[in-house]
Amino acid sequence: MKGSQATKLMVAAGLASLALGASAADSIKVGFMLPYSGTYTALANAIENGFKQYVDEQGGKLGGLSVEYVRVDDESAPAEATDNINKLINRDNVDVVIGTVHSGVAMAMAKVAKDTGTLLIVPNAGADAVTGPMCAPNIFRSSFSNWQPAYAMGEVAAKKGYKRAVTITWDYAAGKESVNGFKEAFTKAGGKIEKDLTLPFPREEFQALLTEIASIKPDVVYTFFAGAGAVKFVKDYAAAGLKDSIPLVGAGFLTDGTLVAQGESAQGLLTTLHYADG
């Protein structure tokens, strides 16, 4: 699915609520709470650009109302998330919040949105609970849950005949949920997880873990990394000599928006996602 198509779905989901809530005013105020710095900067910019592109295509209006924008850099910091979204709601008086990428941040945002009734549209973060236990009429997701692409890859890995797997990811909500999705499908099909490897988000010191993977010699490695971390991991995996001996698979975020930067190191990777770069 192209970025503009995804944005159309996102806008359509909340447009009626936006127009109704802002009908007494001349404009709708949209708050972007996204990681404009750090590992996920490229994703933040893509989300904002996609949303604004759709608005521009509608003559700069949504539901007949002009649109104002407010930006907050969430820095992929869960500890700051509650304060940041409350500032958008209470200080900036936004009608809708768009965000975010980091699942831990999204969880905090969803709690505040549910408590205050503020319209929240989640364009990327896949935290399962956002549209699960924390589901609310004012919370919309235009992307995925972390479980979905990971479970699909677990099925693919099993069908390819792999029996022993190692997983590797950052130690945070998205990584854990993604790995759990893979493990659920892979073990259901008879596969065995030899070891789950993690490192703190957003560290990119992979060498010790790659050495451990080489010593375990699994049939396949499943990974969840994104953004700059995905680029570094794929390059390091190839440089360590593992690319040609132990197949690397993962959720599609491993290569989404990062494939060009990964270059030849990405040749042979298998990923699953609800869309792919064209």
> Residue 63, Cβ neighbours under 10 Å: how many?
18
In sequence order, what are the beta bridge partners of 72?
33
User: Which helix (H) or strand (E) is 270 found in, with range?
Assistant: strand 270-272
Q: Which residues contact 56 (CB under 8 A, 6 or more apart)?
A: none
- Model pTM score: 0.79
Domains and CATH numbers, the chain: 3-141 (3.40.50.2300), 147-272 (3.40.50.2300)
At 45-90, the pLDDT tens digits run: 999 999 999 999 999 999 899 999 999 999 999 999 999 999 999 9
Average pLDDT over every residue of 169-193: 96
Burial grade of 129 (CB within 10 A; 0-12, 13-18, 19 or more): middle
Per-residue pLDDT, 23: 47
The confidence score (pLDDT) of residue 19 equals 55
pLDDT over 70 (residue 271): yes
| pLDDT, position 9 | 47
Share of the chain above pLDDT 90, in %: 85
Q: Assess whether pLDDT exceeds 90 at residue 158.
A: yes
**Structure confidence at residue 15 (pLDDT):** 54
pLDDT tens digits along 9-22:
444 545 555 555 55
